[in-house]
Amino acid sequence: MVGKIPSGCRPHSEIKKINDHIQWLIEQGITCEHIGDLAAGLCDRLIATGVPIWRASIRMPSLHPMYRGVAANFERGGAIVLENAEHGSETERSFEMTPIFHLLSRGEKTGRWNLAKGEGLQYAELHEFALAGGTDHVISIFEFPKEVALRGLGFSLTSDAPGGFSDDQLAIIQELLPALGLAAYRVAVSKTATEILAVYTGARTSARILAGETRRGMGGSIDAAILLADLRNFTALTEAHQPGEIVGFLNEHFELIDRHVEENSGEILKFMGDSVLAIFPTDAENPQKACKAALASAQNLLKANEELNRERTLNGGPDIGIDVVLHLGEVFYGNVGAQGRLDFTVIGRAVNEASRLEKLCGTLEQPLLLSESFAATCAVPCDYLGAFELRGVSKRADVFRLAGAAP
């Protein structure tokens, strides 16, 4: 059964308690880092005043590309549990079988189910609570501004006390909801900005942006190992496959490149069509370390790409090779672009040279090429392939492959 949560008049002492809770929520909204802190802290405060909370949760939608929602689950006497609901039809079907979805689909903001009387047992979560001794379950929904994709939050409380929550207790909780919503909104917006920026720019770059490096031209020169990866013969694939299939192929290959770059402390700065640009900043005292990391990334991603192609071709899909170039040099790492549209990336002669070197992979029939500066610093056994002219580069480039590498 769904009903309205009651409210009413109360003595001055209760009003003071409510104001204290509101003040605490506002302070936590400014300082805390996750909605789990809000859920645990508020529930502990309410329990201390006699509200028989057994379980509670704050559920919110998410803008993260991997997750459709986030939840902070509280249990009296236990640790807060954080959950991320991934995108996908299975997750959406599961959400459609929840009491919160029931309220949203009916345009209602509050709901209450008497578990002791068998109400709400069609929902798996409430059925589980009832079997474990739950007696009362209430949900309040708080909406955020319409222009924000973070649409709002659902705050649910479960009691295991005989008779559940009193009307006065529920009225107090209802009065706390705006402050809870405001605090959760601030936490969610801050976390969303940090996470989304990291997804679009990379963890290292996003940290610099959030630290204040936002003006055009702001940045500086760094030495870095550069990894440039390009999908081979990708233009021909666009002629033979539909756009949706092409996007799927790109995502598969970019995923494995990103995985092996990140696990070696590198960072992808840019996806350029079917190419990937990543850097491994060097340590002045040990530049070889960055080169070793870049080389490990290149070798691992090429091996993983072979495995991906074997699986795909068994199902009739295309074999898509990757050409990788490793270079070492000085780059400008910072904000480049127009005043209203910036890109935090790397530019410079070394980046241009890496791009030109990549064109030689097909000519030399080698999936992995090393520049002279990279090969010398990395100090691994290499075969010299010759000196080549690069378009737009005045000096011929000495090019290497790993010793014993086959075409």
Give the residue numbers spanning the domain of 308: 204-402
Domain identity same for 152 and 249: no
pLDDT at 45: 95
Domain identity same for 138 and 246: no
Helix (H) or strand (E) holding 384: strand 382-388
Listed residue (397, 393, 202) closest to 280, CA to CA: 202
- Distance, C-alpha 46 to centroid of its chain: 33
Total structural domains within the chain: 2
Strands annotated E in 12-101: 55-61, 67-75, 81-86
175 and 156 Cβ atoms separated by less than 8 Å: no
Residue 5 covered by a domain: no
pLDDT at 207: 86
pLDDT at 276: 95
10-residue mean pLDDT series, the chain (407 residues): 47 83 92 90 95 94 80 92 77 78 88 94 93 96 77 92 94 92 89 83 85 87 95 86 91 94 93 92 92 96 95 91 95 90 89 92 94 95 93 88 79
Burial letters for 379-405: b for 16+ Cβ neighbours within 10 Å, e otherwise? eeebeebeebebeeeeeebbbbbbeee
Q: How far apart are CA 321 and CA 319, in angstroms?
A: 6
Domain-ending residue, one of 149, 181, 200: 200
Domain-ending residue, one of 200, 227, 247: 200
pLDDT at 2: 43
pLDDT at 193: 81
Name the DSSP letter for residue 255: H
110 and 154 Cβ atoms separated by less than 8 Å: no
Residue 407 covered by a domain: no
CATH of the domain at 319: 3.30.70.1230
Task: Let me know how long the chain is.
Answer: 407
What pTM, to 2 d.p., does this model score?
Answer: 0.74
pLDDT at 91: 62
Q: How far apart are CA 202 and CA 45, in angstroms?
A: 39
Domain identity same for 70 and 194: yes
Domain identity same for 170 and 304: no
Helix (H) or strand (E) holding 159: strand 152-159
Distance (Å) of CA 250 to CA 5, 231, 369:
51, 9, 22
Q: How far apart are CA 224 and CA 377, in angstroms?
A: 12
Residue 4 covered by a domain: no
Domain identity same for 148 and 247: no
pLDDT at 406: 64
Domain identity same for 112 and 166: yes
Helix (H) or strand (E) holding 262: helix 243-262
Report how far apart the first and last C-alpha atoms of the chain are (Å, whole number).
70
Domain identity same for 127 and 16: yes
Domain-ending residue, one of 200, 229, 249: 200
100 and 156 Cβ atoms separated by less than 8 Å: yes
Domain identity same for 160 and 220: no
CATH of the domain at 54: 3.30.450.40
Domain identity same for 228 and 180: no
pLDDT at 9: 61
Domain identity same for 240 and 266: yes
Residue 7 covered by a domain: no
pLDDT at 225: 96
